[in-house]
C-alpha cells in the first residue's frame, strides 16, 4: 500500500481541517498519482473536501460512526478496510489522510509519496516523521519547485 501527503518542515499536515498552504503543483501531483486508484481517507478529511468524492478514484472512508453514509464505501475499522482492499495491487491503494488514518495505516504502507514544503507553518495535525523512523529511506526526490513564493520538493520514501 502507498501513502501520499504534503507536509511542512515539521511534518505538519494541516490546521483547523485545512491544508497548510494551497499548492496547485502538489494537487496536480496528487491527482496524477491517485487517478484510477483507491484512496483511503478519514471522515474528517472527507468533510474537509466539502463532502464530495474526488473524481475517477474509488474512495474508502474510515469512520467508526455506524450511521455514517456518504454514498461510498465506509469501513468501520482497520481490519475491515484491509479486508476490503485485499487483492488489489499494492500500488493501486493510497492512504490519503488525515493524521489518525496515516498513523493507523503506517505499518501497512511500503511506499510514501511526500511533498515537503521548505517552510514551517502552525499546524495541529502531523504526519509521522519518516526521517526519524527506522527502516525508511528516500528512493527518489525532485528538484525544488517554487510556487507563489513557496518552495517544495517531491520525495518517494520506501520501507526497507
**What per-residue confidence (pLDDT) applies to 11?**
98
Between CA 138 and CA 157 the distance in angstroms is 4
Q: Where is 152: in which H helix or E strand?
A: strand 150-159
Integer angstrom CA distances of residue 143 from 71, 115, 151, 153, 154: 40, 11, 10, 6, 8
Q: Is residue 88 over pLDDT 90?
A: yes
Kindly report the number of other CB atoms within 10 A of residue 77's CB atom: 12
**What per-residue confidence (pLDDT) applies to 152?**
98
Q: What integer is the mean pLDDT of 47-73? A: 91
Q: Is residue 71 over pLDDT 90?
A: no
Domains in the chain, ordered, with CATH? 2-159 (3.40.430.10)
pLDDT, tens digit, 9 for 90 and up, residues 108-141 = 999 999 999 999 999 999 999 999 998 999 999 9
Q: Is residue 106 over pLDDT 90?
A: yes
pLDDT confidence tier of residue 20, bands split at 50, 70 and 90: very high
Q: Is residue 19 over pLDDT 90?
A: yes
Q: Percent of the chain beyond pLDDT 70?
A: 100
Rg of the chain in Å (alpha carbons): 15
Q: Where is 10: in which H helix or E strand?
A: none
SS3 12: strand
Beta-sheet pairing, 93-95 with 38-42: parallel
Share the mean pLDDT of the chain. 96
CA angle 114, 77, 106 (to 5 degrees): 25
**What per-residue confidence (pLDDT) applies to 68?**
83
Q: What integer is the mean pLDDT of 52-73? A: 91
Task: Identify the DSSP state of 107.
Answer: G
Q: Is residue 157 over pLDDT 90?
A: yes
Amino acid at each position: 500500500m502507498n501513502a501520499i501527503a504534503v507536509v511542512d518542515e515539521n511534518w505538519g499536515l494541516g490546521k483547523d481541517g485545512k491544508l497548510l498552504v494551497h499548492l496547485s503543483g502538489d494537487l496536480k501531483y496528487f491527482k496524477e498519482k491517485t487517478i484510477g486508484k483507491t484512496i483511503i481517507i478519514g471522515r474528517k478529511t472527507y468533510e474537509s473536501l466539502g463532502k464530495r468524492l474526488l473524481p475517477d478514484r474509488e474512495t474508502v472512508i474510515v469512520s467508526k460512526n455506524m450511521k455514517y453514509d456518504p454514498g461510498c464505501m465506509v469501513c468501520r475499522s482497520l481490519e475491515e478496510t484491509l479486508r476490503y482492499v485485499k487483492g488489489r495491487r499494492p500500488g493501486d491503494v493510497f492512504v490519503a489522510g488525515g493524521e489518525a488514518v496515516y498513523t493507523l495505516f503506517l505499518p501497512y504502507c511500503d511506499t510514501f509519496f511526500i511533498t515537503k514544503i521548505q517552510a514551517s507553518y502552525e499546524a495541529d495535525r502531523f504526519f509521522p516523521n519518516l526521517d526519524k523512523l527506522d527502516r525508511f529511506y528516500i528512493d527518489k526526490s525532485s528538484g525544488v519547485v517554487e510556487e507563489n513564493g513557496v518552495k517544495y520538493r517531491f520525495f518517494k520514501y520506501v520501507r526497507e
